[in-house]
């Protein structure tokens, strides 16, 4: 099974923490949608006729698009790719989702919404420079249910400065969100990126990040609350009710094929990775001129192995020791027996039936562990 990711590079305004590729200039919106449709047609053979399991509109803010433009993209996908009961997700901001638009999205084929709530605290929403308020977030979830959606994901951010009361305020966000019973919840640790407003403030000593200890405490508290509320932590940042894992994100972690279209989008076919240019004007110009606005990196065997370690170690599915040995000749136990043993003794990992997987405690340092498990070139 395969997936398609559509990057919609537009936002109403720039959140102070975000360093994704986007623009607040919407003048080229129609041209962008037309170019995305052309790229989909041009690259229809990329997935090698594998059936689509997921379609994901990300960004930016995909919900900024009129429903007709979303339907236009879905129509091109339907004409160009084989799809079988695909999960079709739209990332959305609460202020874009009126009751009428929600009904149109549902009727137009979107069957899963990923709502960027981030926090229910109005002061913190302003601090983050979000374009919605807490009442809009709460109303949106209720309206979403009435529109017919039965698969909803919601995002929250933790470790939001200042550190004073950061834990209690985040816990309050969690408790409020749990009351709405979304099928899926994603949690993101706020990081201060250089080319953002927060990065600028931090460089000028106008902003202090929440300490690692406080951040870890918030993360651990979230795991406890969500687990007790019936959510399973199936990946470092993702929690789901039974059977409601994100198909699209899971495909990344399981090394499935995926095609990324739009500026800045990534594609992967197990042998190579391609990256589209992160420039809206150049992307549109290249597509309209019949050119491919991307660069391609062909992966070595070691890179493919390390990609597997990096992605799978973040999930409940863990590392299949025999699969690594058969695919790449890599013996995890022989190469890292001392590290594996120590991680198990520290309750950061488990080894069962040939699968090495991290515990919730290990998830908190998953990237660090992955780097130590990598095979060297």
pLDDT at 1 over 90: no
pLDDT at 283 over 60: yes
Task: Specify whether 201 is located in the same domain as 81.
Answer: yes
The structure tokens listed for 142 are 């209720």
pLDDT at 267: 97
Residue 296 within any structural domain of the chain: no
Residue appearing with tokens 């202020």: 95
Task: Specify whether 188 is located in the same domain as 308.
Answer: no
- Last residue in a domain, options 252, 277, 292: 252
> How many C-beta atoms surround the C-beta of residue 56 within 10 A?
26
Per residue in 153-191, pLDDT (tens digit) is 999 999 999 999 999 999 999 999 999 999 999 999 999
Per residue in 319-336, pLDDT (tens digit) is 999 999 999 999 999 999
Give which of 152, 159, 147 is closest to 107, Cα–Cα.
Answer: 147
Residue appearing with tokens 């509320």: 229
Sequence-separated (6 or more) residues with CB below 8 Å from residue 193: 17, 18, 19, 199
pTM over 0.85: yes
pLDDT at 5 over 80: yes
Residue 284 within any structural domain of the chain: no
Distance between CA atoms of 362 and 341, rounded to whole angstroms? 13
Per residue in 205-250, pLDDT (tens digit) is 999 999 999 999 999 999 999 999 999 999 999 999 999 999 999 9
Per residue in 60-83, pLDDT (tens digit) is 999 999 999 999 999 999 999 988
Task: Specify whether 327 is located in the same domain as 184.
Answer: no
Give DSSP secondary structure letters for 234-294: EETTEEESTT---HHHHHHHTT-EEEEESTT-EEE-SSEEEEE-S-HHHHHHHHHTT---E
pLDDT at 346: 97
Residue 263 within any structural domain of the chain: no
State the CATH number of the domain containing residue 366. 1.10.10.920
The chain-wide mean pLDDT, for the chain, equals 95
- Last residue in a domain, options 252, 284, 319: 252
pLDDT at 66: 97
Per residue in 79-137, pLDDT (tens digit) is 999 887 999 999 999 999 999 999 999 999 999 999 999 999 999 999 999 999 999 99
The structure tokens listed for 24 are 């607040």
pLDDT at 292: 85
Task: Specify whether 210 is located in the same domain as 346.
Answer: no
Task: Specify whether 61 is located in the same domain as 128.
Answer: yes
Length of the chain, in residues: 377
Residue 266 within any structural domain of the chain: no
Distance between CA atoms of 148 and 292, rounded to whole angstroms? 39
Average pLDDT of span 264-268: 96
Task: Specify whether 305 is located in the same domain as 243.
Answer: no
Residue 130 within any structural domain of the chain: yes
Q: Which domain holds residue 364?
A: 301-373
Residue 206 within any structural domain of the chain: yes
Task: Specify whether 146 is located in the same domain as 203.
Answer: yes
Task: Specify whether 22 is located in the same domain as 98.
Answer: yes
Give which of 319, 297, 316 is closest to 242, Cα–Cα.
Answer: 316
Task: Specify whether 137 is located in the same domain as 53.
Answer: yes
Strand, coil or helix: 44: coil
State the CATH number of the domain containing residue 133. 3.20.20.70
- Last residue in a domain, options 252, 286, 315: 252
Task: Specify whether 27 is located in the same domain as 103.
Answer: yes
Task: Specify whether 54 is located in the same domain as 194.
Answer: yes
pLDDT at 376 over 90: no
Residue 225 within any structural domain of the chain: yes
Residue 211 within any structural domain of the chain: yes
Q: How many domains does the chain have?
A: 2
pLDDT at 377: 57
pLDDT at 193: 93
The percent of residues above 90 in pLDDT, for the chain, comes to 93
């Amino acid at each position: 099974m395969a997936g398609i990711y559509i990057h919609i590079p537009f936002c109403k305004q720039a959140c102070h923490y975000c360093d994704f590729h986007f623009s607040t200039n919407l003048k080229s919106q129609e041209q962008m949608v037309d170019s995305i449709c052309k790229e989909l047609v041009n690259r229809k053979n990329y997935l090698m006729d594998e059936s689509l399991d997921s379609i994901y509109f990300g960004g930016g803010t995909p919900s900024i698009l009129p429903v007709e433009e979303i339907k236009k993209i879905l129509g091109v996908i339907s004409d160009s790719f084989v799809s079988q009961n695909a999960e079709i997700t739209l990332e959305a901001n609460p202020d874009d989702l009126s009751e009428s638009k929600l009904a149109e999205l549902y009727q137009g084929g979107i069957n899963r919404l990923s709502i960027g709530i981030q926090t229910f605290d109005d002061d913190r929403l302003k601090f983050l420079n979000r374009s919605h308020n807490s009442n809009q977030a709460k109303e949106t979830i209720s309206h979403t249910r009435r529109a017919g959606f039965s698969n909803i994901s919601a995002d929250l951010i933790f470790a939001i400065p200042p550190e004073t009361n950061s834990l209690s305020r985040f816990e309050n966000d969690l408790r409020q969100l749990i009351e709405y019973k979304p099928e899926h919840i994603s949690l993101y640790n706020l990081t201060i990126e250089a080319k953002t407003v927060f990065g600028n403030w931090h460089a000028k000593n106008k902003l202090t990040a929440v300490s690692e200890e406080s951040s870890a405490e918030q993360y651990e508290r979230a795991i406890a609350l969500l687990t007790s509320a019936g959510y399973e932590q199936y990946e470092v940042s993702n929690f789901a009710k039974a059977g409601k894992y994100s198909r699209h994100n899971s495909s990344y972690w399981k090394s499935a094929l995926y095609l990324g279209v739009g500026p800045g989008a990534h594609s992967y076919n197990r042998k190579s990775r391609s990256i589209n240019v992160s420039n809206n004007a150049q992307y549109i110009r290249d597509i309209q001129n019949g050119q491919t606005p991307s660069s391609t990196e062909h992966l070595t065997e070691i890179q493919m192995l390390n990609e597997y370690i990096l992605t799978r170690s973040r999930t409940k599915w863990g590392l299949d020791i025999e699969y690594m040995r058969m695919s790449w000749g890599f013996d995890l136990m022989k190469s890292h027996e001392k590290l594996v043993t120590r991680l198990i003794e520290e309750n950061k990992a488990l080894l069962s039936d040939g699968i090495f997987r991290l515990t919730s405690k290990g998830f908190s340092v998953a990237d660090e562990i992955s780097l130590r498990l990598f095979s060297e070139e």
